[in-house]
A and B are shown apart, each in its own frame.
Chain A
Amino acid sequence: GENVEQHPSTLSVQEGDSAVIKCTYSDSASNYFPWYKQELGKGPQLIIDIRSNVGEKKDQRIAVTLNKTAKHFSLHITETQPEDSAVYFCAAFTVMDSSYKLIFGSGTRLLVRP
């Protein structure tokens, strides 16, 4: 089945710097990759996603890149702000036995130092 690995597990950056989180997946048939942000005590929030027919997608300060050949995708946050501090999860969409499901990475705790 699909397996998603996420690195790093923790990331500390200075306010204004960029942050990059990387994920790899194992199922070459996966074709949809969302990213979620989870703040303390809250549910995960979808912040950006990418489908396999594009290599990059950008939304203001966040961007996601996808390399299907290497089976990895990354989240880039530029000009980080303290409110970006949260846990970020990547996920890969997989179809298995008529079931659609998201397989999540283990999460990255991002701390933006003011």
Chain B
Amino acid sequence: NAGVMQNPRHLVRRRGQEARLRCSPMKGHSHVYWYRQLPEEGLKFMVYLQKENIIDESGMPKERFSAEFPKEGPSILRIQQVVRGDSAAYFCASSPPARSSYNEQFFGPGTRLTVL
């Protein structure tokens, strides 16, 4: 049973380019979360998605960032016109349908984005 898959593992972009990060959840998981981690810092929530539905995007910058989780295929985090401050590790986590009492999230290996 494969875990959460993310690709690419490393991504280098020049300022102004677009970055696309992909996440395939664990088998049987229908919920996906994206987090950003700056060097030497903790995990900051960005967005929570179910299939074809954004549940909570309160942690995602309003401009340049978007996320989707289509009916078929992986979840995509898209960053347009990247700037140096976007350099970070981006982690995806997946979970079974969340319950009101707990929410086990399993993380992928991350995509390390470097903006030159």
Interface residues of A (CB under 8 A from B): 6, 31-32, 34, 36, 42-46, 49, 51, 89, 93, 95, 97-107
A-B contact pairs, 26 of them (CB 8 A): A31-B102, A32-B103, A43-B4, A43-B107, A43-B108, A45-B107, A49-B104, A51-B102, A89-B42, A89-B43, A93-B102, A93-B103, A98-B55, A99-B48, A100-B103, A101-B33, A101-B45, A101-B103, A102-B45, A102-B103, A102-B105, A104-B35, A104-B44, A104-B45, A105-B42, A106-B42
- A65 to B27, alpha carbons, bound, how many Å? 31
B41 touches A106 (CB 8 A): yes
List 7 A-B pairs, minimum CB-CB distance, nearest first. Answer: A99-B56, A32-B102, A43-B107, A100-B98, A106-B42, A104-B43, A43-B109
Chain A residue numbers with a CB within 8 Å of B44 are 104
Chain B residue numbers with a CB within 8 Å of A31 are 101-102
Q: Place the interface of chain B in its size category.
A: 20 to 34
Taking CB as reference atom, which chain A residue is nearest B57? A99
From residue A48, how far is it (CB to closest CB) to chain B in Å?
11
Given contacts A36-B107, A49-B104, contact A100 B43 (CB under 8 A): no
B45 touches A95 (CB 8 A): no
B110 within 8 Å of A (CB atoms): yes
Taking CB as reference atom, which chain A residue is nearest B102? A32
- A51 to B101, alpha carbons, bound, how many Å? 8
Which of B60-89 touch A at CB < 8 Å?
Answer: none
Chain B residue numbers with a CB within 8 Å of A106 are 41-42
